[in-house]
A and B are shown apart, each in its own frame.
Chain A
C-alpha cells in the first residue's frame, strides 16, 4: 500500500501573530514556521501503518513556496520515504490544493491519502473532503482511530456528541483529528539522515492543474480583545447577570 501524506507549512503554533495594518493578511515576515500540527498527526499515522506492515511507502507532499522543503524534510526525518514539492508562490484555496493532490494521487498510484482535518492558519477544513469528491473515493474525516482490515480501513470519527465508526473501501481519504495519535519527535540522527532522502519538485503547470482562484479575501481582522472578567458575590447575582447583562439564559 502506498500512502500519501499532505503537509502544510504554517506559522508555528507558539508564535503570536499580528494582523497587517492594511488588513490584507497576517504579518509573517521572519515568523517561525512549522508543519501544521494536524499534518504532523497524519505523518505519524502513516508511519504507524508502515511500522505495522500495512504500508510499503510513505510519500509526503507539500504545496507552496520553495521553503516548504523544510517541512518536507521534517516529515522525512519522522519516517516518510520521499517528498514531493509542488512549487507555487501564491497561497492557494482548498479546491486548487485538492486538484493538485488529485493529480499527485493519479500520478503516483496512491491507495490511501492522510491529511490534517484543517490547518491552524486558515482553518478551512475543506481540502480532504474536496479531494475525496474529486477522486470519487470514500472519506473518513476527523479520525480519532484508524485500522486497516482486509483491504479496508475502519475509521472512528469525532462527531458532535460522540463517535461514529465507518468502514471504508480503499482507496480512501482520511483526515486526522487531534486525538488520533501523539506524534513522535524526529530523532536528531534521523534529521541528519533525512538530508539524503529525495524530494522531487514539480509545478501546477507540469501537473496540468488550473489553480486560478474563485475566492477573494476582502479583509483580515484580529479577533476583538477580550475585556476583563468580573467576580460575583453570589449565585443569585451570577444568574441575574447572565440573564440581564450577558443575556445568555
Chain B
C-alpha cells in the first residue's frame, strides 16, 4: 500500500540521488578499508535512512511494506554493505520492539534507532543452532528482578558497532523447542558481554559480523520483549518481514548489475561490433531483465498483500527464494558479459558477485525457504 504516491516518489528520488552521488563513488573505498567512512555514516543519519520502518510517532518514517520495497530497491543500486549498516535498525534489530515491545521500550529505544544514534543487532544464530534456530542453547535464568543470560551467538551483523542486542534465549529449559524461548533487549555496556574478533567474509566488506559471548549478563526483567515463551514466534515474524526486504534489495542489486553489464556490452567491441550486438550476449541480458522484472512483480504484489494484513508466509518465502537465487544468476551473467574484466576487482561486478552470495544464506537459507513453502502447501492441503 502506498499512502501517498507523490511523497513516496520524492523519497525514492532523493534516495536514488544520494546513492548515485554519495554512496556509489565510495563503494571501492569502503570495500578496501572494510569500514563505512564516518562522514557517510553521518550523512546517512541526517538523511533519515535509519528510521525507514520505525513508526512516525517514534521519529521514523513508518513505511508500509510496499513503500519499503521501493526504497530497498533504490538502496540496492549500490554495495549491499551500506544497506547492511542501516539494515538492522530498519529490520531485524528493531522490529521485535516495534511488533511486541512495551510503550516504555518503544519510547526508550525506537527514537535512538530512527536517528541512527544507536545501532541495533539481532542475536539468534549460535555455533550449534543455525537453520534449526529453535534448538538454541543460550539461557536466560530468572533471578528476582533480573534475567541472567549465558551463551554464544554467531555471525551477528553489526554486533561490533551495536549499542543494543536483541537476544533470543531459552527461559524454560524444560521446553526444548520454540516455546521455551524468550526475546530480550541487552544494552552493550551491561557487564559480561564479550565480542569475538570481526569475521573475515567473502563479500560485503564494510558490513561487520562477529560472535557475541554472554557470561552471567544481568538484564533487568523489564527488558523482556513480550511474554516468556513468545520470543521465537516474534523472531519469526521479524524474519518474515525481513524476507521481503532482502527480496527488494536483491532486485535493486540485479538492476545495478544489469546496468553495468549493458553499459559494458555496448562499449566493448569484439569481432568488429559491440558485444551487445551478439545474440548470445543479448540472451544473457534479456534473461536477466526478465527474471528481475518477475522478481519485482512478485515482491511488490506480496508486499501489497501483507499491507492488507493477509497471511503471506508462503509468498514471502517464495519471494526470498526466487529473488536471491535470481540475483545470483544475474551476477554470474554480469561477470560472464564482462569476460576477463569481470574477474578483476577494477569492475564492480566482481565485488557484487561475491556480495550477493550472502542473500541465499542468511535470514533463512534457500533450502529453509523451500521447506517453509512446501510445509505450508502440505498443511493447506491436508
Contacts and interface: CB of A to CB of B under 8 A. Distances in A.
B10 interface: yes
Contacts of B4: 195
A139 interface: no
A187 B48 CA distance: 6
Contacts of B59: 189
A186 B51 contact: no
Interface in A166-205: 185-192, 195
A207 to B, nearest CB: 25
- Which 5 A-B residue pairings sit nearest by Cβ, starting from the closest? A188-B48, A187-B48, A189-B48, A191-B10, A187-B47
A73 interface: yes
Interface string B1-30: 000101101110111011010000000000
Contacts of B61: 188-189, 192
A74 interface: yes
A186 B14 contact: yes
B18 A185 contact: yes
22 contacts: A14-B20, A34-B13, A69-B6, A70-B9, A70-B10, A74-B10, A185-B17, A185-B47, A186-B10, A186-B14, A187-B47, A188-B14, A188-B15, A188-B49, A188-B61, A190-B48, A191-B7, A191-B10, A191-B11, A191-B14, A192-B56, A195-B7
Contacts of A186: 10, 14
Contact of A70 (B6, B47, B51): B6
A34 B4 CA distance: 18
B285 interface: no
B52 A188 contact: yes
B46 A187 contact: yes
Contacts of B56: 192
A229 to B, nearest CB: 15
Contacts of A185: 14, 17-18, 43, 46-47
Interface residues of A, number: 16
Interface in A117-165: none
Contacts of B10: 70, 73-74, 77, 186, 191
A187 B11 CA distance: 9
B222 to A, nearest CB: 29
A77 B46 CA distance: 14
Interface in A3-21: 14
Contacts of B17: 185
Nearest to B9: A70
Nearest to B62: A192
Given A73-B10, A188-B61, A192-B7, 13 more contacts: A34-B13, A70-B6, A73-B6, A74-B10, A77-B10, A185-B47, A186-B14, A188-B52, A189-B48, A189-B51, A191-B10, A191-B14, A192-B56
A185 B47 CA distance: 7
B63 to A, nearest CB: 9
Contacts of A187: 46-48
Interface in A60-89: 69-70, 73-74, 77
Contacts of A69: 6
Nearest to B21: A185
A190 B10 CA distance: 11
Nearest to A195: B7
Nearest to B18: A185
B83 to A, nearest CB: 15
Contacts of A189: 48, 51, 59, 61
A26 to B, nearest CB: 21
A6 to B, nearest CB: 20
A14 to B, nearest CB: 8
Contacts of B11: 188, 191-192
Nearest to B63: A188
A34 B17 CA distance: 11
Interface string B37-59: 00000010011110110001001
Contacts of B51: 188-189
A70 B4 CA distance: 12
Nearest to A14: B20
Contacts of B46: 185, 187
A187 B52 CA distance: 12
A74 B11 CA distance: 10
Q: Which among B7, B15, B43, B52 has the highest number of chain A CB atoms within 10 Å?
A: B7
Interface string A33-75: 0100000000000000000000000000000000001100110
A192 B10 CA distance: 9
A248 B49 CA distance: 53
Contacts of B7: 73, 191-192, 195
A70 B12 CA distance: 13
A74 B56 CA distance: 20
A77 B17 CA distance: 15
Nearest to B46: A187
Most buried by B among A34, A70, A187, A192: A192
A191 B20 CA distance: 19
Contacts of B15: 188
A195 B47 CA distance: 17
A34 B7 CA distance: 14
Contacts of A73: 6-7, 10
Nearest to B56: A192
A188 B6 contact: no
Contacts of A188: 11, 14-15, 47-49, 51-52, 61
A69 B6 CA distance: 10
A14 B43 CA distance: 22
Contacts of A77: 10
Interface in B43-87: 43, 46-49, 51-52, 56, 59, 61
Give the interface centre of B10, B13, B15, B56 by most chain A CB atoms within 10 Å: B10
Interface string B110-148: 000000000000000000000000000000000000000
